[in-house]
Structure 1
Amino acid sequence: MNRVKKTAVAALLLTLGPVLPAWAQSDGYGAPPAQPGIEFELGGGANAAPRYEGSSEILLSPYPIVRLKRLALPNGFQIGGGREGGFSVSPSFAVRGERTARDTPALTGLANVDLAVEVGVEASYEAQWLRLHANLRRGFGGHHGWTGEAGIDAVVRPEEGLKLYAGPRISYADNGYMDTYFSVPAGTPGFATFDASAGIKSWGVEAGMRFDVSEGWAVEGMAGYHRLTGDAGASPVTAVGSRDQFHVRFGVLRKFRIDF
């Protein structure tokens, strides 16, 4: 198992560790299992982020929301559904736009990178004042590597239905991802040869909010800053853009419940 996969596994174990003994028998707070069924959220919104990782240009694009909140089976097995969150597992999606010299002339000489869709899983545990979370995704299209993020948030709820959070983040990627976005092949005109390796690729901080407007609808927003580090920060690709990465996101979602 390479270094980045060890990092991802450790992050997931950190998230799952506090709740594994109890999550199959209760809601994470000692209460009996709820009515068998599934609760999930679907929605979408707008995301303002660098055109590509390492870019200094901000691009506005759509983003999807697909989130599993609770799964309770008739045999008593349950994931999620705690009064203030508990343990949950949900799909994790990300879309990375194409990277071309047509859009960014400073990249002339580098190979274009097609749009990539990343699909994976996120695990999280939320208590009254704290949330731990980690995700891991596999790329399709522009890259075929693995990447993900882990973080810890302080959580406050100043009024009914409103949640505010903020905390540090760290992201990681394997050789396939790093090679696609940060390596420079020998002989590339205008760029020094560079071989990017797997490892931690950024650190930063995020802050956000969620407001449950009604039983069926909610809105959420987030703003964050990431600093590219390691080979991602040292790459000649980043040198023509910026190591400082800012992003803002806002979305609307619909909540669904289906009883078994």
Structure 2
Amino acid sequence: MKYFDEAALRLTANARWTTACLAALGAIMATAQPASAQTAFTLPAPPLELPMLPSPSGNWTVMVGIGGEYKPEFVGSKNGKFLPIPIFTIRRAGSVDQFRGPRDSASIALLDVGNFRAGPAFKYVASRKSDKYAELTGLGDVKAAYELGGFAEYYPVDWLRLRSELRQGMGGHTGTVADVSADVIVPLIQRLTISAGPRFTWRSTKATAPYFGVDAAQALASGLPTYNARGGAHSVGFGSQISYRINPQWEVHAYVEYEKLLGDVADSPLVKLRGSSNQTTIGLGASYSFDFRIR
């Protein structure tokens, strides 16, 4: 009962925080005007330009927003929690309207040519505190991780997006993570779109072991058997999203994502004995787009 009460308090607090953020966005939304041809502001040109990349000068479109997700307490957990989620992307203004999947990292499309985009990507992975959840007792803390890398996405046809990301971790883990996804994008009626498709994630040993390995000291403290977690196929899954564009600036969306943990991750005693290999995330959010110019 103690853990149930604590979980309920965490859920209520996080839900109130996210509801407040979405309410603030909604208040702004009510007074938002249609998108203007004018840019919001202008930035000076950068002091230098990187070779092999197009000049950053020109107009850019920024998407920012906030969402909330009900997701596993930690990867492999059988219990859920509600968390706020930031939304951030940058693309060339005037390019094809950008589809954003709920699993996409924050990214900047420095290369935007026809149906192909590529650029840097960033993802923040929250720390995992062993004293927050009974299942993690004795396993020690894992610090927050910062994953830096890049993305590439391609539209072979207007209704299909293929995207891949490759990121290198720093902090809580120092391994490599690769995400691959495909989304079929279908307009239902004007401004209302539904999308769905498969997902796959691969993680190296250094990105897997801190979360799913159990060394001798941890085994003694936690009661779990020792386990050497190696990298490889991390998960396969499927996701679906429905989005509604209120006007050229504002969009709201809701989604569900399912993952099936694989390999050494699914076989970890943390998952097999205390958690679940089935991971489901349900979310909603709102985003706002505006333009700025670089001289």
Same fold per superposition (TM over 0.5): yes
Off by >6 Å, runs of 4+ in structure 1: none
Residue 279 of structure 2 is matched in structure 1 by 245
Q: Which moved more, 1:216-225 or 1:228-237?
A: 216-225
Greater Cα offset, 188-197 or 176-185: 188-197
Amino acid at match of 1:162: L
Query: How far has the Cα of 1:91 moved from its partner?
Result: 4.9
Q: Secondary structure at the match of 2:140?
A: coil
Equivalent of 1:215 in 226, 238, 248: 248
Cα drift, residue 132 of structure 1 = 0.5
Equivalent position to 1:137, from 167, 170, 175: 167
Q: CA RMSD in A?
A: 2.5
CA apart distance, 1:206: 0.3
- Paired position in structure 1 for 2:131: 102
Shift of 1:150: 0.7
Q: Highest CA radius of gyration, 1 or 2?
A: 2
The amino acid that maps onto 1:100 is K
Q: Percent identity?
A: 30
Higher mean C-alpha deviation, range 234-243 or range 90-99: 90-99
* Pair 241,36 (structure 1): closer, same or farther in 2 beyond 3 Å: same
User: Higher strand fraction: Structure 1 or Structure 2?
Assistant: 1
- Partner in structure 2 of residue 116 of structure 1: 145
Partner Cα distance (1:157, 1:211) in 2: 10
**Cα pair distance change 1:213/1:49, threshold 3 Å:** same
1:61 and 2:94 matched: no
Determine if contact 2:111/2:119 at 8 Å carries over to the other structure: no
Cα distance in 2, alignment partners of residues 120 and 221 from structure 1: 27
- Say if 2:121 and 2:151, in contact at 8 Å, map to a contact too: yes
- Corresponding letter in the other structure for 1:172: W
Residue 44 of structure 1 aligns with which residue?
66
TM-superposed deviation, 1:45: 1.3
Question: How far off its partner does 1:229 sit?
Answer: 0.4
Return the offset for 1:228.
Answer: 0.4
Gaps of 5+ in 1: 1-23, 26-34, 73-77
* More displaced stretch, 137-146 vs 195-204: 137-146
| 8 Å CA contact 2:59, 2:93 repeated in 1 | yes
What CA distance in whole angstroms lies between the structure 2 residues aligned with 1:138 and 1:221? 29
CA deviation digits over 1:159-186, x for unaligned, max 9? 2222211111111111211111111112
1:29-71 Cα deviation digits (max 9, x unpaired): xxxxxx9422221122112211111011111111111112326
Task: Find the residue that maps to 1:178 and give its secondary structure.
Answer: helix
- After TM superposition, list the pairs within 5 Å mapping 1:15-26 onto structure 2: none
Separation (CA, whole Å) in 1 of partners of 2:277 and 2:134? 18
TM-score norm. by structure 1 comes to: 0.75
- Write the distance in 2 (CA, Å) between the matches of 1:216 and 1:192: 53
Q: Could you tell me whether the CA contact under 8 Å between 1:136 and 1:146 is conserved in 2?
A: yes
SS at match of 2:230: coil
Q: Secondary structure at the match of 1:143?
A: coil
What residue in structure 2 maps to residue 197 of structure 1? 230
Distance 1:214 1:196, change over 3 A: same
Give the Cα separation in 1 of the matches to 2:288 and 2:261: 34
Aligned length: 220
For residues 232 and 93 of structure 2, what CA distance do their matches in structure 1 show? Answer: 33
Distance 1:92 1:222 in 2: 21
SS of alignment partner, residue 237 of structure 1: helix
